[in-house]
């Protein structure tokens, strides 16, 4: 008589039970990691947009405006292209958009800039301020711009 090979039903049930318990243990940290990664990604994009605006303004001696809304931000050259008014802080005419980014629905943005707009000038002196990004659940990150345009993430 040949010995029987394979696994029993009891072994399968035990293995599936262990796998289910491990999945239940691992799920909450993975969800928290995903939320944190989402916020950090949005903050990184915000800082990159600020850096792009600063670099463009200094290199081309033009105004670059960052327009912040609760769910997105826009970086554009405020040079009056296409019949718009230069330096009016508004995206009108054919003014070039350097970057546009929409935040995930769980993240909101607020600033202490007047009218939620910030402008880099081509000669280095800027209005300092803070951009606060808040995620549902209470996670907060800040992007700080000082008077010379240096960008810091906290």
Look at the pTM and tell me if it is higher than 0.75.
yes
Inter-CA distances, 8 with 4, 13, 15, 18, Å: 11, 9, 11, 16
- The length of the chain, given as a count of residues: 154
- C-alpha torsion sign, points 113, 52, 46, 125: negative
**Nearest-angstrom CA–CA distance, 125 and 114:** 16
In a domain, 1, yes or no: no
Residue 134: which domain range? 9-153
pLDDT per residue as tens digits for the range 71-96: 889 999 999 888 888 889 889 889 99
CATH of the domain at 17: 3.55.40.10
In a domain, 3, yes or no: no
The total number of structural domains that make up the chain? 1
What pLDDT sits at residue 3? 77
Out of 25-29, 45-49, 70-74, 133-137, least confident range: 25-29
In a domain, 115, yes or no: yes
In a domain, 27, yes or no: yes
């Amino acid at each position: 008589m040949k010995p029987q090979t394979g696994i029993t039903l009891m072994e399968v049930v035990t293995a599936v039970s262990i796998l289910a318990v491990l999945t239940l243990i691992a799920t909450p940290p993975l969800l928290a990691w995903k939320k944190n990664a989402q916020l950090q990604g949005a903050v990184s994009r915000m800082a990159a947009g600020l850096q792009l605006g600063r670099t463009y303004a200094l290199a081309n001696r033009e105004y670059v405006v960052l327009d912040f809304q609760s769910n997105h931000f826009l970086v554009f050259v405020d040079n009056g292209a296409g019949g718009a008014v230069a330096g009016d802080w508004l995206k009108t005419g054919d003014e070039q958009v350097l970057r546009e980014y929409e935040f995930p629905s769980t993240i909101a943005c607020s600033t202490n800039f007047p009218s939620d707009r910030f402008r880099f000038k081509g000669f280095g002196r800027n209005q300092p301020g803070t951009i606060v990004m808040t995620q549902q659940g209470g996670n907060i990150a800040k992007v700080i711009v000082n008077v010379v345009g240096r960008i810091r993430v906290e």
